[in-house]
Amino acid sequence: MTKLALSDEILMSIDKPARYIGHEVNMAVKDLKDIDVRFAMCFPDVYEIGMSHLGIQILYHMFNGMDGVYCERVYSPWTDLDKIMREQHIPLFTLETQTPVKDMDFLGITIQYEMCYTNILQILDLSGITMTAAHRAEDEPIVIGGGPCTYNPEPIAEFFDIFYIGEGETVYKDLINAYRHNKANGGSRRDFLMAAANIPGLYVPQLYEASYNNDGTLKSFTPTVEGVPTTVKKEIVMDISNTVYPERPIVPYIRATQDRVVLEIQRGCIRGCRFCQAGMIYRPVRERDVEFLKDMAVKMLKSTGHEEITLSSLSSSDYSKLDELLNFLIDEFKGKGVNISLPSLRVDAFSLDVMSKVQDVKKSSLTFAPEAGSQRMRNVINKGLTEEDILNGCALAFKGGWNKVKLYFMLGLPTETEEDMKALAELSELVAEKYYEIPKSERNGKVQVTASSSFFIPKPFTPFQWAAMCTKDEFQRRAYVVNDRMKEMLNRKSLKYNYHDPDTSIIEGLLARGDRKVSSVIKRVYEAGGIYDAWGEYFNYDRWLAALEAEGLDLDFYTTRERSTDELFPWDFIDTGVTKNFLKREWQRAHEEQITPNCRMECQGCGAAVFKGGVCFEDKN
């Protein structure tokens, strides 16, 4: 049994000590004398959130399948332990061997959402790792970031040695071999970073510099060293049925946020919603082979003892073998107490038929995402759903026995009008009316329609990356417009409206489209006590405003300013395959309220065919 880094006294004094002791079911155990590369894999949020993330499980499984490599895990200590570790000078440690993170060769941080940026600094600080990458000593770990936020790494570039752009299954072996080679030849830290910069998909911020125009916009972004590529192309796995997948995922001792087996059925999305970053950066759509998925489902449920399996995808309904997979799972696990969960379904008859199969006992609420209340706005965002689609889908759900529907919307989208805002309430009312069209004797109690709206944040590599955000006050006003209209509806007692905090959305917008100058703001916020900004109870908007003022940066420059289509963006050096010209065309089509057909209906020449596979080549096989 590994000696724990925390004393019994400390473990007894903190919330959920099982977050910090390791030794979970399916945890990797290796003999350290056989190990020459140690990799700490970090999710910069609390254990329950990090343990729910499939990407970490895939990479953990991949690294620990490599000879001589030991991948261990680390998560952000919760606020109670954070305080104790600072007071007692306890260094942050890995779960597997309780070794200080500073003694690792690599610290790999997955960056899934912008509001975790202050937690990244918490990880570095508690580990005793120099915060600024350029000042790190030779013996400190190489800090590498991956995940969707690396598609604009610039606001956190100062803190990372390397960013891995794209899907993690492709070039990590090359990186580790380069590390071994450099070490064997007595190379310096900089020698290794130079070698890493020439591995596809890897970006080393220290080897690039930005210059700015007088108005604050980016003038140029270029390598400072000869031989370093000017463009970094994303890494992508084209055959996702012949790649690593965790047959034996780690099972936490305490309940995780997603306490179930996660089966990723495909990557990417054919739909092309203009606000959706994931739908653009993960192109082209690639499906996993249905026989691979059947085999993996059986193995994962057996190795974990979980009682639920989630079929994960950006748009589950679009997986071409979904019916076959579901029928297999239903037959295989009938009477065994296994629940099947299907997020991201579209509102149509097929999806409702699917839901009736997997929820034939418990009719929990159904969730649909119209994203906008009016048809005009759904055309602007290229949602591809008509009001008839939505109402017919809800009617089918109600006839099938459901009486609770959740509707997700966005407020503050480009070109949105007062009528578009009110349409959120009006569509919710129409959904409730559909329920009351059913004869009273056939209803399942009262209907409950819960409408929730988040606020639009323009993200890099989307057609809306040029759009302006609303101010905080304007976001708030738009939510009030919807709320007031809700109260005027005939079925208002059956309607409920929630909306997201505008303060958090504004700061997320700053971090999503920021440049290198924003690094100093993040550091100031952290030094002023900012951690767990993704958690409402710890987020402090005024702290961010004070940091921006101290650094002489204008929040509106990053958020409420509409960009011109010829502006150089901080992320333009990254090649996702999807061309900027395609995004510009879609930006124009949005203003024309034009729908663009999905990838299976008609290829739009977005550029993703350069990867020579997936949906782009389905008809050619």
The domain tally of the chain equals: 2
Count of helix runs (H) and strand runs (E) in the chain: 20, 19
180 and 315 fall within a common domain: no
249 and 221 fall within a common domain: no
- Looking at per-residue pLDDT, the higher value among 441 and 9 belongs to 9
pLDDT at 153 over 50: yes
CATH of the domain at 258: 3.30.750.210
Report if residue 44 sits inside a domain: yes
Contact 495, 451 (CB under 8 A): yes
The residue-averaged pLDDT of 161-179 equals 98
Q: Which two tokens stand for residue 541?
A: 């908007």
State which of 186, 210, 233 marks the end of a domain. 233
The residue-averaged pLDDT of 304-314 equals 91
* Measured distance CA(455)–CA(151) in Å, rounded: 21
The residue-averaged pLDDT of 283-311 equals 95
State which of 233, 261, 284 marks the end of a domain. 233
Confidence of residue 576 (pLDDT cuts 50, 70, 90): very high
* Measured distance CA(367)–CA(350) in Å, rounded: 15
pLDDT at 361: 42
What mean pLDDT is reported for the chain? 94
Report if residue 546 sits inside a domain: no
* Measured distance CA(404)–CA(309) in Å, rounded: 22
pLDDT at 351: 65
Q: What's the domain range around 302?
A: 237-344+580-621
The residue-averaged pLDDT of 545-567 equals 97
* Measured distance CA(177)–CA(579) in Å, rounded: 32
The residue-averaged pLDDT of 543-553 equals 98
pLDDT at 442: 87
46 and 134 fall within a common domain: yes
223 and 291 fall within a common domain: no
Q: Which residue has the tokens 């908007």?
A: 541
Report if residue 531 sits inside a domain: no
The tens digit of pLDDT for each residue in 402-429 reads 899 999 999 999 999 999 999 999 999 9
Helices 418-436, 472-487: crossing angle, 10 deg rounding: 30
* Measured distance CA(609)–CA(165) in Å, rounded: 19
State which of 233, 267, 287 marks the end of a domain. 233
302 and 273 fall within a common domain: yes
104 and 67 fall within a common domain: yes
The residue-averaged pLDDT of 342-352 equals 68
Q: Which of 22-36, 248-262, 342-356, 479-493 has the lowest mean pLDDT?
A: 342-356
Confidence of residue 316 (pLDDT cuts 50, 70, 90): confident
pLDDT at 342: 78
184 and 322 fall within a common domain: no
Report if residue 227 sits inside a domain: yes
pLDDT at 362 over 70: no
Furthest CA-CA distance within the chain: 80
DSSP string, 312-348: E-SSGGG-TTHHHHHHHHHHHTTTTT-EEE--S--SS
Query: What is the value of pTM for the model shown?
Result: 0.96
Q: Distance of alpha carbon 116 from its chain centroid, rounded?
A: 11
96 and 215 fall within a common domain: yes
* Measured distance CA(58)–CA(237) in Å, rounded: 13
The residue-averaged pLDDT of 532-551 equals 97
pLDDT at 256: 84
16 and 40 fall within a common domain: yes
Report if residue 461 sits inside a domain: no
Q: In degrees to the nearest 10, what's the CA dihedral of 411, 413, 415, 421?
A: -10
CA-nearest of 352, 384, 368 to 279 is: 384
Tell me whether strands 308-312 and 404-411 are parallel, antiparallel or unpaired.
unpaired
Q: Distance of alpha carbon 436 from its chain centroid, rounded?
A: 38
CA-nearest of 582, 593, 587 to 372 is: 593
State the CB neighbour count (10 A cutoff) for residue 255: 10
Q: Which of 215-224, 312-321, 558-567 has the lowest mean pLDDT?
A: 312-321
Report if residue 508 sits inside a domain: no
37 and 153 fall within a common domain: yes
The tens digit of pLDDT for each residue in 121-149 reads 999 999 999 999 999 999 999 999 999 99
State the CB neighbour count (10 A cutoff) for residue 583: 23
pLDDT at 618: 83
Q: Which two tokens stand for residue 141?
A: 């770990």
204 and 283 fall within a common domain: no
pLDDT at 390: 92
The tens digit of pLDDT for each residue in 40-70 reads 999 999 999 999 999 999 999 999 999 999 9
pLDDT at 341: 82
pLDDT at 467: 98
Report if residue 338 sits inside a domain: yes
53 and 91 fall within a common domain: yes
Q: Which two tokens stand for residue 134?
A: 């350029």
Report if residue 364 sits inside a domain: no
The tens digit of pLDDT for each residue in 11-41 reads 999 999 999 999 999 999 999 999 999 999 9
Q: Which two tokens stand for residue 79?
A: 């606020």
The residue-averaged pLDDT of 565-581 equals 98
